[in-house]
Amino acid sequence: MTGISESMSTINSLEELADKKTIIHQIHPRVKLILTLLYIVLVISYKPYDITGLTFYAFYPIILMVLGEIPFMPLFKRLLIALPFSFFAGLSNIFFDRQAAFFIGSLPITFGLISFFSIMLKTIFTVMAVLILIATTSMPKIAYQLLSFKLPQMIVEQIMLTYRYISVLLQEVSSMYTAYILRSPGAKGIKMQDMGVFVGQLLLRSFDRAENIYMAMKCRGYDGKFLYAKPQPMIKSDWMILLMTAGLLFLMRFFDLGLFIGNFVR
């Protein structure tokens, strides 16, 4: 069951990364959340045939990843998950949009090819942006910010509780799966007709677990409301970073650096 152990190690390694103390980690979570969303919106606002302007946006994730000391390996793993669907959506453009835009020598470059690269670049950039957010900001911090964005408390509690119990449940599924596979030699997975009992068993166990959790919470004074430590307020430097980075990102949208360099070189 590679999927399970892999997701456990993904969560663990991302949590470890979020524990570092680089410049990027110390930026207020609200700033990072806003900038990430702004970056994604600006990147996907580019039209399918405009890739030269888009390339300018490579600076943001690359600089942040280096400053935040985020290794590149997790990025590739995430791209493996996100890329296939984008890849096929982009590939269809190559087939359906064969009008030539220009020629390199005698090689025609079609609009479809350009929009294919546009989709690939957008996928890579947006996946990088989310990775940077989660690798430099711990989940509780993000959850508190969601609370301050006036998200209902109930859904934020759900996010935190689910997040907390994912590793526990993954462990449980992993050991149940091992037990099943040990008893069924040569099986490549769980037989479909056994799935009902397998997941059903998991559900029943989890119901009992939830009951125990509830009682434990009750013993510690839970009355239907969670208590949160107040997140730190934004300081002057946070505001500076927010305004400057947001300003830069907006300016980048107006200036086509790729084309500028291209014209200059030629």
Partner 1 sequence: MHMADALVSPAVGGIMLAASAGAIAYSTYKCKDDLDEKKIPLMGVMGAVIFAGQMINFTIPGTGSSGHIGGGILLAALLGPYPAFLTLSAVLLIQALFFADGGLLALGANIWNMGFYACLLIYPLVFRPLVKKGITKGRLTLAAVLSVVLALQLGAFSVVVETLASGVTELPFTAFVALMQPIHLAIGLVEGLVTAGILLFVYNMRPELIEASAHNQKLKSDLPLKKVMASLLIFAVVVGGGLSLFASSNPDGLEWAMENVAGTAELESTGDVYDTAESVQSSTAFMPDYSLKSSEDGSAVGTSLSGVIGGGITLLLAAGTGALIYFVKKRKEKTA
Q: Which of 27, 31, 35, 115 binds partner 1 (CB under 8 A)?
A: 115
DSSP string, 54-96: HHGGGHHHHHHHHHTT--SHHHHHHHHHHHHHHHHHHHHHHHH
User: 30-59 b/e with 16+ CB inside 10 Å = b?
Assistant: bbbbbbbebbbebbeebebeebbbbbbbee
Min dist. Cβ of residue 184 to partner 1 (A): 11
Residues 222-261 that bind partner 1 (CB under 8 A): 222-224, 253-261
Min dist. Cβ of residue 189 to partner 1 (A): 4
Q: Which of 20, 34, 50, 234 binds partner 1 (CB under 8 A)?
A: 50
Cα angle for residues 94, 100, 105 (degrees, 5° grid): 110
Task: Find residue 107's DSSP bridge partners.
Answer: 104
Which stretch in 24-32, 212-220, 227-235, 238-246 sits in contact with partner 1 by CB under 8 A?
212-220
28 vs 36, beta carbon nearer partner 1: 36
86 vs 235, beta carbon nearer partner 1: 86
Q: What x/- string results for residues 121 through 150 when contact with partner 1 is judged by CB under 8 A? A: -xx-xxx-xxx-xx----x--x--------
Which stretch in 24-32, 111-119, 228-236, 237-245 sits in contact with partner 1 by CB under 8 A?
111-119
Beta strands 100-104 and 107-110, pairing class: antiparallel
Contact present, 112 and 93 (Cβ < 8 Å): yes
